[in-house]
Amino acid sequence: MFAKFLLAALTTMALSPIVQAAQYPWYEVEIYVFERQSHSDEHWPDTPLDLKTTNAVDLLTPQVASDITGVSMALGDCGKNSWNTVGSVSNSDGTNTQPQQPCHGLESATTLVMPKIMPVNVLPKNVQTADLQTAVLEGADQAQFGDMIAKLQRQAGVQSLLHMTWKQEMKPRRQAQPLHLFAGQDFSERFQANGLPISQQAVTQSSFGGINELMPQEKPAPVWKFDGLLNIYLNHYLYVETRFNLRQAGQKSISLEGQPATVIPYLYSMPMEQNRRIRSTEIHYFDHPAMGMILQVRRMQQPDGAEPQQEPESQEIEDDQPQTPPAAETTTPSTKNIQPLQN
């Protein structure tokens, strides 16, 4: 019995890296996020949604950042034909030594210069920056929303924010890594992440004395117009979770103790937090008073040698569809149903 157990353990350890890396099925995902002019009377919270991006996958920064230090050291040996493989370090005589980790983005980078306005269509610069361990950014030739986007853009008040296509390994919820998505303008030169203007922050810090004047000033983190987390996972069915902030500059009246009310510039945050079960291949529309997102998850051919341990979606039947009010679920987002609010 012990011999059989030992043989099974050794066999598992000897499995090729690609089989171990692709134990879950891969899907292709395409999204289009847009803003629409809104004059809703809805009251938004005073603070934006908290975004924990430590464990999130970032497909955008490698494509838009410039002046990167150490990026070549941070990236592994990624090839177009082995986007889900683990490479190895070769000696001068051609023999392989220890395995090399898959491409993992910009973990070793020390200097990043981000654009002030993000491009709407985020495309891979090259194979190295596009391939991460569990997600791969794809080019424009894989996008399928072109006609739909063109129709939406002809509507008054619609402003495109982000359009991208990628493929990812679909894991169970406890193992899934969300994608960190951001788009639009960077407000960090004018506002803090909490919405207060930079000038207000300077006034607050000055009250603690002149020690802050002696400290080196770090460049503030970007405060994007659209910023959030998208988590797609597979538990028999596909599920989509959104945790987005859409920011809009305006004014706010504040009252300080013993002083009259003062109107200051303020960056409002409008949250979009949803959780929905979806079907692959169907186009889904996520609605919001000030923005919208169109999403499609498509089945794809699995990488060579991959044998997913978890089966793809089970065969669904019509009677087993999630019961969602019609206004909240639009599986086929005709542009007639996506009307911006009129002035």
Taken in order 208, 209, 215, 219, the sign of the CA dihedral is positive
The whole model's pTM is what?
0.71
Contact 100, 87 (CB under 8 A): yes
Average pLDDT across the chain, whole number: 75
Residue 264 has pLDDT above 60, yes or no: yes
- Give the Cα separation of 80 and 291 in Å (integer): 35
Residue 182 has pLDDT above 70, yes or no: yes
Contact 290, 257 (CB under 8 A): no
3-state secondary structure of 191: strand
Query: Which among 227, 288, 252 is positioned nearest to 37, based on CA atoms?
Result: 288
Burial of 309 (C-beta count, 10 Å sphere; 0-12/13-18/19+):
exposed
Q: Provide the pLDDT confidence category of residue 127 given band limits of 50, 70 and 90.
A: confident
Q: What DSSP character marks residue 223? A: -
Report the relative pairing of strands 88-90 and 291-299 from DSSP bridges. unpaired
pLDDT of residue 109: 42
Residue 335 has pLDDT above 70, yes or no: no
Comparison of pLDDT for 200 and 15, the residue scoring more: 200
Residue 288 has pLDDT above 70, yes or no: yes
Taken in order 139, 25, 183, 291, the sign of the CA dihedral is positive
Q: Provide the pLDDT confidence category of residue 67 given band limits of 50, 70 and 90.
A: low
> In the sheet that 224-235 helps form, which strands lie side by side, from edge to edge?
179-186, 224-235, 237-254, 262-278
Comparison of pLDDT for 251 and 32, the residue scoring more: 32
Instruction: Give CA 52 to chain center in angstroms.
Output: 12
Query: Which among 135, 11, 115 is positioned nearest to 63, based on CA atoms?
Result: 115
- Give the Cα separation of 334 and 338 in Å (integer): 7
Query: Which among 300, 294, 295 is positioned nearest to 312, based on CA atoms?
Result: 300
- Give the Cα separation of 17 and 102 in Å (integer): 10
Residue 48 has pLDDT above 90, yes or no: no
